């Protein structure tokens, strides 16, 4: 066979930023709305976006598919609360075609769990294998206060339904100096007894909220030292290209992660970008950089034009975040986590 006979279809060049980091992970926010109002995430009276500002399910599918075409291997659906978006299962089922073709390695979901009991089976059927459920306290009163009205029993039922449907569940808990600090060992013990991994997250200064977040900031280095006074924590080599560092708690046999954006920089290996529910591409959670893909889509761009804009957006990914917790400075990033997609 002469070299000219072999004309393989050229795979598109992978998405790479200006620092040579390959972008293979997209977080897709499908709504800014939520049925809870966690104190560190949202203001009590949030003004949500008019529907016309949100990407339609078809637009979300089109952008995600463009990323898959450029080598995105992992897709995380988030929000706001993704399970309150009408038609979200249609979107997830549709994106499942990229799992079937092998183009995509996994579709995951971050949820507050309130509607999981209803959706767990459908998620599993759509090809979702694992999900993250956010849960900061097992105490009904504290959970209700932290979420401004939530019912922890619903979340626990949701987690059980997810496990029964065969989904692997990881719990994410935000460490809050005044609220759940004392409960953290109990949360970890409960998670590990229940067959769940758990990851602790430091509060990040995102979006204007009423509470003074600096008062709630709790360094996970402090938490780790405290845990090490009664448990043996063994570092695990596991890296997801994300900000989490993992240990095994020898006494429980379970896995524990730490997400420490404030006390450690994790940007060198960052492989991810985020698309807001309004179609803005943010290549860094902690910077104001933005590319408006909705304008491109609604101007009737071709797939090739969309890809070009995505490539240029990714090329401009900042080297690292710039979170500051200093009281006087206010939020480092003005948009809420619920808009960007956590």
For ligand SF4, the binding residues (CB under 6 A) are: 34, 36-38, 41-42, 79-81, 112, 134, 338
Here the tokens at position 9 are: 């279809």
What is the number of alpha carbons within 13 Å of residue 262 lying toward its C-beta? 23
In the complex, what is the shortest distance from the CB of residue 247 to ligand SF4, in angstroms, rounded to a whole number?
Answer: 24
In the complex, what is the shortest distance from the CB of residue 339 to ligand SF4, in angstroms, rounded to a whole number?
Answer: 9
- Of 43 and 233, the one with the shorter C-beta distance to ligand SAM is 43
Q: Which does 37 bind (CB under 5 to 8 A by kind): ligand SF4, ligand SAM, none?
A: ligand SF4
The dihedral built from the CA positions of residue 181, 208, 55 and 24, taken in this order, carries a sign that is negative
In the complex, what is the shortest distance from the CB of residue 112 to ligand SF4, in angstroms, rounded to a whole number?
Answer: 3
Binding mask 107-126 for ligand SAM (x = CB under 6 A): ---xxx--------------
276: contact with ligand SAM by CB under 6 A: no
Binding mask 142-171 for ligand SAM (x = CB under 6 A): ------------------------------
Most distant CA pair in the chain, distance: 74
17: contact with ligand SAM by CB under 6 A: no
Q: Which of residues 194-213 bind ligand SAM (CB under 6 A)?
A: 201, 203-204, 206
Q: Strand pairing partners for 27? A: 76, 274
d(CA 287, CA 298) in angstroms, rounded, equals 25
In the complex, what is the shortest distance from the CB of residue 303 to ligand SAM, in angstroms, rounded to a whole number?
Answer: 29
With H, G, I as helix, E, B as strand and everything else as coil, classify residue 273.
strand
What string of H, E and C letters represents the secondary structure of 34-90?
A: CCCCCCCCCCCCCCCCCHHHCCCHHHHHHHHHHHHHCCCCEEEEECCCHHHCCCHHH
Rounded-to-10 torsion of CA 150, 152, 156, 162: 10
Question: Which positions lie near ligand SAM, rule CB under 6 A?
Answer: 34, 40-41, 78-79, 81, 110-112, 134, 172, 174, 201, 203-204, 206, 337-338, 342
């Amino acid at each position: 066979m002469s070299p000219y006979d072999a004309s393989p279809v050229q795979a598109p060049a992978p998405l790479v930023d200006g620092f040579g980091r390959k972008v293979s992970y997209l977080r897709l926010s499908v709504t800014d709305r939520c049925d809870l109002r966690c104190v560190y995430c949202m203001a009590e009276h949030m003004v949500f976006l008019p529907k016309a500002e949100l990407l339609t399910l078809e637009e979300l599918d089109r952008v995600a598919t463009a990323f898959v075409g450029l080598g995105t291997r992992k897709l995380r659906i988030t929000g706001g609360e993704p399970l309150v978006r009408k038609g979200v299962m249609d979107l997830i089922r549709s994106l499942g075609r990229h799992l079937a073709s092998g183009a995509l390695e996994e579709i995951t979901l971050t949820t507050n769990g309130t509607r999981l009991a209803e959706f767990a089976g459908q998620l599993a059927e759509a090809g979702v294998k694992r999900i993250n459920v956010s849960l900061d306290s097992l105490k009904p009163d504290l959970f209700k206060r932290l979420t401004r009205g939530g019912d922890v029993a619903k979340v626990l039922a949701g987690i059980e339904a997810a496990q029964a449907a065969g989904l692997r569940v990881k719990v994410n808990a935000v460490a809050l100096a005044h609220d759940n600090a004392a409960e953290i060992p109990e949360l970890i013990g409960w998670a590990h007894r229940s067959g769940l991994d758990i990851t602790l997250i430091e509060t990040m200064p995102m979006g204007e909220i009423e509470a003074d977040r600096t008062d709630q900031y709790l360094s996970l280095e402090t938490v780790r030292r405290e845990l090490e006074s009664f448990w043996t924590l063994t570092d695990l080599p596991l890296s997801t290209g994300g900000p989490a560092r993992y240990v095994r708690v020898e006494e429980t046999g379970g896995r524990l992660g730490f997400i420490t954006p404030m006390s450690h920089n994790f940007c060198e290996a960052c492989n991810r970008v985020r698309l807001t529910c309004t179609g803005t591409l943010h290549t860094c959670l902690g910077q104001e950089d933005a590319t408006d893909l909705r304008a491109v889509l609604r101007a009737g761009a071709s797939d090739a034009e969309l890809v070009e804009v995505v490539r240029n957006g990714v090329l401009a990914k900042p080297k690292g975040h710039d979170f500051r917790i200093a009281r006087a400075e206010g939020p480092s990033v003005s948009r809420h986590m619920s808009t960007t997609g956590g």
